[in-house]
Chains A and B, each alone.
Chain A
Amino acid sequence: MSEARNTSISQSSGRALPAADLARTVVFAAFIAVLGLFPGFYLGGAAVPIVLQNTGPLLAGSILGARRGGAAVLLFLALVALGLPLLSGGRGGLAVFAGPSGGFLIGYVFSAVVVGLIVQRATPRPGLLVLLLANVAGVAVDYLVGIPYWAAFTGDLRVAAIQSLVFVPGDAAKLVLVSLVAAAVHRAVPTVPAASPRTAED
């Protein structure tokens, strides 16, 4: 079982994306977009709805792994850049990459790749601890890209870092949620990291 999965992951590093990989990448890019269509989620007793879209890249890495997860986020961002209003709040176009949060958007790709790289190492499937670790790293990578990017506008790395602190509590809560959800999905769909559903059924 785990051997079949390992071979299918290595096979997917070939030149062309097999159809199953392509489909998962495309559908997950759409999944991230759909997260943005939701008006926001009232969590627990909270009065303020939380935006779910930035959990998308973490989930992509946690569930699809580095290659397909990263590709899904890249595809999603490409659609946004082309001018489709898929970012939460109906935003889109090149302008979203220019603002203070532009670097954090670009960082999503690296975030998904790093999360995927860590999650893939866990066999036979990642537990909650590995997922938590992976997602902490994923969020950290996003900051590593986002803060210097914003600093290019403000001209001061320290100022940019201080201004970015407002995101930390929300991101911390979200990465725990993502880990819980991803662990449940891995438990429910044991074939998740496999490239092709056929190998799992055989």
Chain B
Amino acid sequence: MTPLGLYQPGTSVLHRAAAGHKFLALLALAVLIFVVHSPVWLGVTALAVTLGYPVARVSPRRCLQLVRLLVPVLGLVFAAQWWLVGFDSAAVVCLRLLVTLGAANLFTLTTRVDDLVTAVERGLRPTRRFGVRPERLGLLVGLTLQAVAALSMIAGQTREAQRARSAERSLPAFAVPFLIRTLRHADELGEALAARGVDDD
């Protein structure tokens, strides 16, 4: 659907698995790590999740990015937890974090946004009788991404105007005009949607 996204194309087992199944597996894993309190078993789980990365053939560059993101968080949490509670607790908390972050990230790397949207639309179908319309998710995602592109341009223009007024360091001088133009853009989009009969389907 979009070049924007964290998905990394591939043909591994993890890529081919259905998005819904992968999501359920992820939920099961999340429950598991809160039931398990033994650092040894948590360590085994963390190792299993880590092995998922070579299985999915995630590029070394992506792995490095992830490590760079994880190390400061885990380090900080470990230090704070060790200092405030103790070493064992610090180890358990960090292993839990490692498992959830690692597995959730693996899910995102191997699941196409399109497939996920379809899976969510299908999974939420029973909520239709409560007035929810899950089949609209795809439309909402598309509209929002278009709006992100439009607003990025507006933000750039607002920034330039701000610079021209030499008010670069004033946040309100940027935020107020940007918000007003954002609302104007929303009104235009609303009229366009109404003209296409979006509100009466």
Do A and B come together as binding partners?
A: yes
Q: Which residues of A contact B (CB under 8 A)?
A: 15-24, 26-31, 33-34, 37-38, 41-45, 59, 63, 75-76, 78-79, 82-86, 91-95, 97-100, 152-156, 159, 162-163, 177, 180-181, 184-185, 188-189, 192, 196-197
How far apart sit A18 and B93, CA to CA, in the bound complex (Å)?
45
Report if B58 contacts A (CB, 8 A): no
With A23-B189, A93-B107, A197-B190 already in contact, the answer to whether A154 and B89 are too (CB < 8 A) is: yes
Residue contact A22 to B182, C-beta cutoff 8 Å: no
Q: Which residues of B contact A (CB under 8 A)?
A: 2, 4-7, 26, 30, 34, 69, 73, 77, 80-81, 84-85, 89, 92-93, 96-97, 100-102, 104-105, 107-109, 111, 113, 116-117, 120, 131, 137, 140-141, 143-145, 147-148, 150-152, 155, 168-169, 171-172, 174-176, 179-180, 182-183, 185-187, 189-194, 198-199
Residues in B neighbouring A84, C-beta threshold 8 A: 2, 4-6, 113, 145
Residue contact B104 to A95, C-beta cutoff 8 Å: yes
How far apart sit A164 and B81, CA to CA, in the bound complex (Å)?
13
How far apart sit A99 and B102, CA to CA, in the bound complex (Å)?
10
| Set B6, B100, B183, B199: member contacting A17, Cβ < 8 A | B199
Chain B nearest Cβ from A162, distance in angstroms: 7
Residue contact B5 to A30, C-beta cutoff 8 Å: no
Residue contact B182 to A31, C-beta cutoff 8 Å: yes
How far apart sit A100 and B190, CA to CA, in the bound complex (Å)?
37
